[in-house]
């Protein structure tokens, strides 16, 4: 970024220089035009050196001058313009020399009625030198402007490439940060919804997802679905006999048993210490009871448990369904445990 700023500053400086040189160029054009005028007017000078007065007169008249003095006056006026515009020292010297010749010609004209032909030659030679010097100056100024413009183009391209790269990099970093943030957020929200001991949903996850399931069922007008609340029997006794760590191990094993015996689409959660809840979409309470009993009676299940099961067909909230299933669980416990009971759905 710092490099970009430096390059941009150099480019601005260069533009300033180009601007200044272009101002000089405008002055040069004016100088060139004035010099061309001077060259054109100087062709009449030849006639001032003529032997015959009538040739001089004719030569001057055909170029629009009424007298030799008028021609010299015109030359003096053009030279004054050149002297005013001129800024280069080399050209100033030539202009001064031209002025000297002009003064000498003027004096000769006054004294002898016409300037010395040799002086006229000197004037023309000096004019040629002035012209050549001006062209050289013009060429070097053009080269300078071209070089500066080329440098500026390169600088502009570098600044542009840097700026585009900088903006792209910033956008890429931002999008990466956003993605990481989203993943982090998802991870945190998953953590907040899962039970660290068993990896199943916790009570909060159960609340969120079972309510969402229920809303989906109502939206799609599904008529079937059930909830089972499963509670391990005499778990306090197990804990007291084998210790809390062994109890944890049993809970993990039990969670795994539930995970393998229910379908992937069923919602399984640990909603209390040794209490689990399962939501089975598209499954009636009778079918759920059959599944639950099969698990209960299966030799792989190392703990006994009781279950309360309830249909959610007509339920308007998950809490109401849970209350019914809980009531059925209470009955199962009361009837001696290690069994399942169906709950009645009211309304």
Residues annotated as catalytic are 274
In the complex, least distance from residue 220 CB atom to ligand GTP, rounded to whole angstroms: 36
Q: Choose which of 72, 102, 251, 278 interacts with ligand GTP (CB under 6 A).
A: 251
Interface of this chain with ligand GTP, residues 163 to 222, rule: CB under 6 A: 197
Query: H or E element: which one contains 227?
Result: strand 225-232
Q: Which stretch binds ligand GTP (CB under 6 A): 43-51, 76-84, 161-169, 231-239?
A: 231-239
162 binds ligand GTP (CB under 6 A): no
As given in the structure block, the two tokens for residue 26 are: 């405008």
Q: Is 302 in the site for ligand GTP (CB under 6 A)?
A: no
Task: In angstroms, give the least distance from the CB of 238 to ligand GTP.
Answer: 8
Q: How far is the CB of 262 from ligand GTP (least distance, A)?
A: 21
Integer angstrom CA distances of residue 5 from 2, 33, 148, 169, 284: 5, 42, 19, 17, 72
Contact yes or no for 224/280 (Cβ under 8 A):
no
* Shortest distance (Å) from residue 197 CB to ligand GTP: 6
Binding segment toward ligand GTP, per CB under 6 A, in 105-113, 165-173, 185-193, 229-237: 229-237
- The verdict on 232 binding ligand GTP (CB under 6 A) reads yes
Point out the residue whose Cβ comes nearest to ligand GTP.
273
CB atoms within 10 A of CB 216: 12
Q: Which is nearer to ligand GTP, 56 or 340 (CB)?
A: 340
8 Å CB contact between 340 and 289: yes
191 SS3 class: helix
Say whether 21 sits in a helix, a strand or coil. helix
Which structure tokens are listed for 215?
């809303």
Q: Which 3 state secondary structure label does DSSP give 306?
A: strand
Among 45, 94, 114, 233, binds ligand GTP (CB under 6 A): 233
Residue among 235, 254, 262, 276 that touches ligand GTP (CB under 6 A): 235
- By CB under 6 A, residue 31 contacts ligand GTP: no
| Residue 333 makes contact with ligand GTP by CB under 6 A | yes
Site membership for ligand GTP, residue 337 (CB under 6 A): yes
Give the binding range for ligand GTP (CB under 6 A) out of 63-71, 139-147, 241-249, 311-319: 241-249
* CA-based max dimension of the chain: 154
User: Rounded to the nearest whole angstrom, what is the least distance from the CB of residue 202 to ligand GTP in the complex?
Assistant: 11
- Site membership for ligand GTP, residue 234 (CB under 6 A): yes
Among 68, 225, 247, 281, binds ligand GTP (CB under 6 A): 247
H or E stretch covering 232: strand 225-232
Q: Can residue 239 be called a binding residue for ligand GTP (CB under 6 A)? A: yes
According to DSSP, the residues that pair with 311 across neighbouring strands are 226
DSSP string across 233-287: TTHHHHHHHH-HHHHHHHHHHHHHHHHHHS-TTSEEEE-SSSEEEEEEET--HHH
CA dihedral 72, 78, 81, 83 (to 10 degrees): -60
Q: Residue 286 CB, nearest distance to ligand GTP (Å)?
A: 24
Q: Calculate the CA dihedral of residues 268, 230, 285, 210 and round it to 10 degrees.
A: -30
Q: Are strands 305-311 and 340-342 parallel, antiparallel or unpaired?
A: parallel
The minimum distance between CB 333 and ligand GTP, in angstroms, equals 5
* Coil vs helix vs strand at 114: coil
Give the separation between CA 200 and CA 211, rounded to whole angstroms. Answer: 17
List interacting residues with ligand GTP (CB under 6 A). Answer: 197, 231-237, 239, 244, 247-248, 251, 273-274, 333, 337
């Amino acid at each position: 970024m710092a490099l970009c700023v430096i390059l941009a500053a150099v480019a601005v400086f260069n533009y300033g220089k180009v601007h200044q040189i272009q101002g000089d160029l405008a002055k040069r054009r004016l100088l060139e035009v004035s010099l061309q005028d001077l060259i054109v007017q100087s062709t009449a000078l030849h006639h001032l050196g003529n032997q015959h007065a009538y040739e001089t007169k004719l030569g001057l008249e055909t170029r629009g001058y009424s007298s030799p003095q008028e021609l010299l006056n015109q030359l003096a006026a053009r030279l004054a313009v050149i002297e005013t515009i001129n800024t280069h020292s080399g050209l100033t010297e030539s202009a001064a020399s031209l002025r000297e010749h002009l003064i000498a010609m003027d004096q000769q004209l006054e004294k002898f009625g016409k300037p010395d032909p040799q002086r006229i030659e000197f004037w023309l030679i000096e004019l040629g030198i002035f012209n050549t010097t001006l062209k050289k100056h013009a060429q070097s100024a053009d080269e300078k402007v071209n070089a500066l413009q080329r440098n500026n183009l390169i600088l502009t391209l570098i600044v542009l490439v840097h700026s585009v790269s900088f903006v792209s990099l910033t956008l890429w970093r931002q999008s990466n940060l956003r993605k990481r943030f989203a993943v982090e957020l998802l991870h945190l929200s998953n953590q907040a919804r899962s039970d660290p001991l068993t990896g199943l949903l916790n009570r909060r996850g159960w609340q969120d997802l079972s309510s969402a399931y229920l809303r989906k069922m109502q939206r799609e007008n599904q008529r079937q679905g059930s909830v089972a609340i499963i509670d391990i029997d005499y778990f306090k006794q197990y804990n007291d006999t084998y210790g809390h760590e062994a109890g944890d191990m049993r809970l993990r094993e039990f969670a795994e048993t539930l995970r393998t015996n229910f379908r992937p689409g069923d919602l399984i959660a640990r909603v209390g210490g040794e209490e689990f809840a399962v939501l089975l979409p598209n499954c009636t309470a009778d079918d759920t009871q059959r599944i639950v009993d099969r698990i209960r009676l299966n030799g792989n299940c190392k703990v006994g448990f009781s279950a309360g099961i309830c249909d959610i067909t007509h339920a308007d909230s998950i809490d109401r369904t849970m209350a019914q299933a809980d009531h059925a669980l209470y009955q199962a416990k009361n009837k001696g445990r290690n069994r399942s009971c169906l709950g009645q759905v009211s309304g």
